[in-house]
Structure 1
């Protein structure tokens, strides 16, 4: 018909092909074995890193995924590295073999590690590095071989390390310069070379190399070097040199021929160097044009002269003078050090410092006096008005006076930990207006005495942990307006008065763990902490007897809190959590109640924490968990439920934890993990069920298979899961259980389903090839029946004599020939779509109204007509009316000669029903009136089936 452009039918061949492909894919899934997953026997995967540390491994595991970029095999018992150990790890960047028993590396053992950047082999038993030991490591930049027993190197051992930048071969037994020469000739980009604690007795540049090196740092400390000689400019870029051995008894001779050879040296450490004062003077003169940092620890003699020599170098700004047993510092000792900015005098047994000891050091900004025997803050520090960092930790200071820091207006960091201060005073920190970090931990403080009510406006971190505080009074910290972090853990706090944290508007972290805090303590202390994000209350004595809602909840004001830790509460008997305990914590991300002796949790416990991502309920006596408990926390990503005596994991199936990525459930009572449980956690990436006893029967068959082959989820230590049932399997490993008896039914189902699918595809292809047009015919008869069922009981007087069904390409013939003859001359009333269809009504309804509102339907057949879906629908609807009502209502008029193979089966079947005379338009060219007369007779034919014997009027014109 001519409603619109032709809408040809979909390509049925293409559809059939699509279905065939789908069936073949299903068959392949059933018949092809799955690829191996990544549950490892001795390792675990974390963020693309394979971690196999401390696993008593004697060989390198071969089940590590080839995609890992980091591989940690430290603290095992591997004795040999073989060529086959790392064949597939082509993207590995970091390999750690620290602390094994490795005594041999095969030639080319690392050849396939083409992406390796860092290799750690320290703390092993290597004696000799053999030929091509590091062959293939062209991208290696860091190699650590310290703490072995290496005495010799093969000429080609370092041959491939052309990009190496750091080599640590300290704590070995290298004796000769020839070994160093072998290394340096193959490592042109080496920048840091650590050779400390070997047995080198000489260091002579002409034995090392004859070219300029790119070295920037060289550590020769703890070698018994007697002769240090540089006769050529081989170190043009050297900026850091460490040399000296406090255990050496033979003096070292320093011989650098030209002062320009070390012209870039900025940092020099000669700690423990045994040499004459003349040699030391020569040494310092060699570097006095560039040196900025000088370390003189463990110097046995001539300390005053050394200080004078050191401070005479105008560029030295950092001086470390530790472990020199100074005991006292006189007013003249550091007088020459006017340019020193940082001074470290730790571990010197200093008891007294002259008041004018630092007067000349007007530029000093960092002073470290830790690990001495000072009993009070030295008055000498009061003259240092430019200090930004002062370290007085680990002394014997017992009191702080109001004048100790009053002049330190620029001080930003003050360390007083590990003293014996006992009590503070209100003015102890007067003048510290710029202080940002204050360390007072482990100083036996029992009372703060209002020390923090004023004076410290810019303090950000306050460490008071490890003291003997028992109470925090109201307004105790109200002067710390800028404080971010407050550490009060490991005290004896039992009382937190209401408003004790008042004024701390910027506080984000409070550590209150390991105190004596009880349930009563929690009433009111956290009011006003609007910025608090982390609160640690673990290892206290908090206990609630039931889940009854609290009248006043402890954290209702902490609207920004993200982490709350309550684990490890110490009290007698079991406890619960009130149902509204977490009220107000809308932004809470992490909550830990591990080891708190909880026996139950109300279903509304987490209703106030919709954003919770990490939940730790381990080591409690919960036994039963319900899906309703987890319903409010659908954003949960990590769940810890180890040691809770739970007998089943079925609660997970209804918990809707679709975002859960990490699940740990060690030491519990469940023995079966069903398919429904695992499939209820679609985002699961890491599963830890260690130390559970499993049923080794078919109830766990799916879990075993999934554990081995899952590519999404790693099951930690799965190969050590043990069986406890049946008795014959006790002590055996779960993954050793034979699944074949459990898979018989599955194999039968797979066989039956795939066989059925194959037969279905074959039958479908056969039917489509030989009977596709009949299928189309049946399809359209069905559509006709559907339409007819709507109109069958709505018979009404016919409005038209005939409905004309045609394609719009044939419209000229219909308007120019058919319409004038039938309506103009013969007087029939015809229905045409473009003239008589009701606007706005659906096309299908218009078609049905036209067919059932007309005595006859005239189908004007052409090639275009046969290709049109809407035209086919019209003729099929009329055909169904013919068959169903036994009424001769269909007239076919062919406008062109159409081969039989192009006619759809419904047209061929209609021809079988009618054996009427066929008229050819060319043969009737001299008398066309015969054609129109035959058409008139067909329209006059009644609807009685006996009248025409259900013969269809067929009129052809060409």
Structure 2
């Protein structure tokens, strides 16, 4: 349970004269005690104490350098320390560097007011945040800000300011405007005609996202130090009207979520460009030939119209012999139907290429990308992978071909020494592809295919380094042989939701295995061979009737989580669950435990053993905070009394004679959610 302070005594901190930082955020305080005696206090955080209404009457130490009052119930920022409700005063805080009074909307205040001169003493303030607050018009007054002569960063996101640029004097370089380096006016109403006021600033980062500028022609010229410009969602339509080539220092440009159908004129030294979610249709030849310094280009999601990007012309990134530095290229969620690998000529430095979520049916040629490490071709319409497609990608480490529903075969006729991850989920494979040329493979994903029989030959010549194998939701059949026995480094194996014909002998000799998932396979027998490193076992929704006679702590000495739900287990042998020191979760819900009222029967002895085992764990729970035994464990070891009615539930926690059944259908129905019980819940 999370503890929250409601009250602090007036003299609580008077003796802590050497205290440097006091954090009281996210409580339910109404008042802050006198902090004046804390002459060394440098940081005070009372954010999100929504009941605090005023700070003008208390004494704040003049040593404060950082004051965080975001999300408090202050309505009025005064210029003098008046004893007013809903007010704050910063007089005398001459050493303050950082002030956060954002998120006033979250306190329910309709409009926050501020007086001219409220910041008069904050000469050393370098960063202020007034975001997400509905301010009165006075916050745009130049007189309010002119004393902040050292301010370097102003965050004013979503302040609903009608004319936020009025705080800058367009005719005189005031000390305030010349020192400012970072300005964030995202989510306000910006008139593109008034952008000339920014010409007098020495900004390095400018955020104008969601300001509805629509057209920007000359507003950013003569800003020689600007390195980051964010114009996401401003309604830009004509890229030719966005002339940015004079911004020689610009390295990061975000023009995502606009309506651009053509490219702007980009500055020459741009490194990161985000054009996500526009209306581009074609990447023309040499479209980026003059951008030799770009390292990351995001063209994802330009399928917002019926057209979207359908073509990448040849040599679109060729830079006339100059080395191209592009390392990350994203074309996800467009409408590409065919890829000609010659489109990527010149990208000798590319490390990541993502073409996911298109309609690609064919890839022509060999990718000329010698340093590529990550290739994502998932969620397309590929039917065949040409053997030579990867011939020149000797550095490839991750290949994703998942969700190509018509892909039925894959051949690696060249050795790919560095490929460690291969994702073939949600394809149409009926057998495991030949992986013999992938000696470094560590992760193989084959979920939701149509793979049938699996034999030792599928893994006998490869995959010595395989640590993760996922093959759930197939049609896998495995005989009596240990088909995974050659995977000596396997740690995670998922063969859930396959056929009924899977033998437990297939999982022998997996000494390094940590996680084994076999749910919903109709498996009838339990293991007899040990798993020395197994920690998680899921065998729910099978047809187990017994767990054998060998104690689990011998078979699985490190086991932590076991799930046997929805089997047909009728009893548990004595000592089967003993000495399981690492156990934190066990689930026997929806099995066939019954109390036959026959004290000599095996089922009755199992009932007594389970009852004693639960009581033992109830005692252990007091000393181990990981374990929690509650009456809802009744639902995970469900016993029914056959003397009265087979639907009568027996309470394993009550001391009762055999002929006393426990009727509690309502509790049983409420036991489906056991998330609050770490030992036994889901």
Could you tell me how far 1:392 is from its partner in structure 2? 1.3
- 1:223: which partner in 2? 134
- 1:738: which partner in 2? 654
- 1:688: which partner in 2? 586
Query: Is residue 2:351 matched to residue 1:422?
Result: no
- Partners of 2:180 and 2:158 lie apart in 1 by 20
Aligned-partner SS, 1:435:
coil
Q: CA separation of 1:506/1:279 partners in 2, compared to 1, >3 Å: closer, same or farther?
A: same
**Deviations, residues 19-69 of structure 1 (Å, cap 9, x unaligned):** xxxxxxxxxxxxxxxxxxxxxxxxxxxxxxxxxxxxxxxxx4xxxxxxxxx
Corresponding residue to 2:575 among 676, 684, 687: 676
- 1:619: which partner in 2? 520
- Partners of 1:659 and 1:555 lie apart in 2 by 28
Corresponding residue to 1:176 among 68, 71, 76: 76
Query: Normalization by structure 2: what TM-score?
Result: 0.75
Q: Which runs of 5+ in 1 are unaligned?
A: 1-59, 61-72, 74-80, 84-104, 743-958
- Partners of 1:492 and 1:254 lie apart in 2 by 57
- Contact residue 381 and residue 404 of structure 2 kept, 8 A: yes
- Partners of 2:93 and 2:56 lie apart in 1 by 9
Query: Is residue 2:639 matched to residue 1:639?
Result: no
Corresponding residue to 1:506 among 409, 418, 425: 418
Could you tell me how far 1:691 is from its partner in structure 2? 3.6
Could you tell me how far 1:217 is from its partner in structure 2? 5.1
Could you tell me how far 1:512 is from its partner in structure 2? 0.9
Corresponding residue to 1:394 among 301, 304, 319: 301
Aligned-partner SS, 2:343:
coil
Could you tell me how far 1:567 is from its partner in structure 2? 1.4
Corresponding residue to 2:283 among 355, 372, 377: 377
Corresponding residue to 1:297 among 197, 209, 212: 209
Query: Normalization by structure 1: what TM-score?
Result: 0.55
Could you tell me how far 1:374 is from its partner in structure 2? 0.7
Could you tell me how far 1:435 is from its partner in structure 2? 0.5
- 1:663: which partner in 2? 562
- 1:404: which partner in 2? 316
- Partners of 1:234 and 1:672 lie apart in 2 by 80
Q: CA separation of 1:485/1:132 partners in 2, compared to 1, >3 Å: closer, same or farther?
A: same
- Contact residue 471 and residue 494 of structure 1 kept, 8 A: yes
Query: Is residue 2:239 matched to residue 1:329?
Result: yes
- Partners of 2:570 and 2:120 lie apart in 1 by 67
- Partners of 1:620 and 1:449 lie apart in 2 by 41
- Partners of 2:550 and 2:532 lie apart in 1 by 12
Could you tell me how far 1:384 is from its partner in structure 2? 1.6
- 1:588: which partner in 2? 490
**Deviations, residues 710-769 of structure 1 (Å, cap 9, x unaligned):** 24584467542235435489787957x235989xxxxxxxxxxxxxxxxxxxxxxxxxxx
- Partners of 2:123 and 2:240 lie apart in 1 by 45
- Partners of 1:643 and 1:186 lie apart in 2 by 66
- 2:392: which partner in 1? 479
Could you tell me how far 1:134 is from its partner in structure 2? 14
- Contact residue 337 and residue 362 of structure 2 kept, 8 A: yes
- Contact residue 208 and residue 231 of structure 2 kept, 8 A: yes
Q: CA separation of 1:468/1:292 partners in 2, compared to 1, >3 Å: closer, same or farther?
A: same
- 2:603: which partner in 1? none
- Partners of 1:314 and 1:428 lie apart in 2 by 34
Could you tell me how far 1:312 is from its partner in structure 2? 1.4
- Partners of 1:508 and 1:152 lie apart in 2 by 57
Aligned-partner SS, 1:347:
coil
- Partners of 2:94 and 2:610 lie apart in 1 by 56
Corresponding residue to 1:313 among 223, 229, 235: 223
- Contact residue 180 and residue 208 of structure 1 kept, 8 A: no
Aligned-partner SS, 2:339:
coil
Q: CA separation of 1:181/1:636 partners in 2, compared to 1, >3 Å: closer, same or farther?
A: same
- Partners of 1:332 and 1:553 lie apart in 2 by 57
Could you tell me how far 1:406 is from its partner in structure 2? 1.8
- 2:102: which partner in 1? 195
- Contact residue 508 and residue 531 of structure 1 kept, 8 A: yes
How many residues were matched structurally? 600
- 1:533: which partner in 2? 442
**Deviations, residues 860-899 of structure 1 (Å, cap 9, x unaligned):** xxxxxxxxxxxxxxxxxxxxxxxxxxxxxxxxxxxxxxxx
Q: CA separation of 1:276/1:366 partners in 2, compared to 1, >3 Å: closer, same or farther?
A: closer
**Higher deviation after alignment, 611-620 or 194-203:** 194-203
- Contact residue 362 and residue 384 of structure 1 kept, 8 A: yes
- 1:363: which partner in 2? 269
- Partners of 2:648 and 2:55 lie apart in 1 by 49
Matches within 5 A, 1:764-775: none
Q: CA separation of 1:542/1:249 partners in 2, compared to 1, >3 Å: closer, same or farther?
A: same
Corresponding residue to 2:470 among 546, 549, 565: 565
- Partners of 1:534 and 1:206 lie apart in 2 by 62
- Contact residue 150 and residue 173 of structure 1 kept, 8 A: yes
- Contact residue 690 and residue 717 of structure 1 kept, 8 A: no
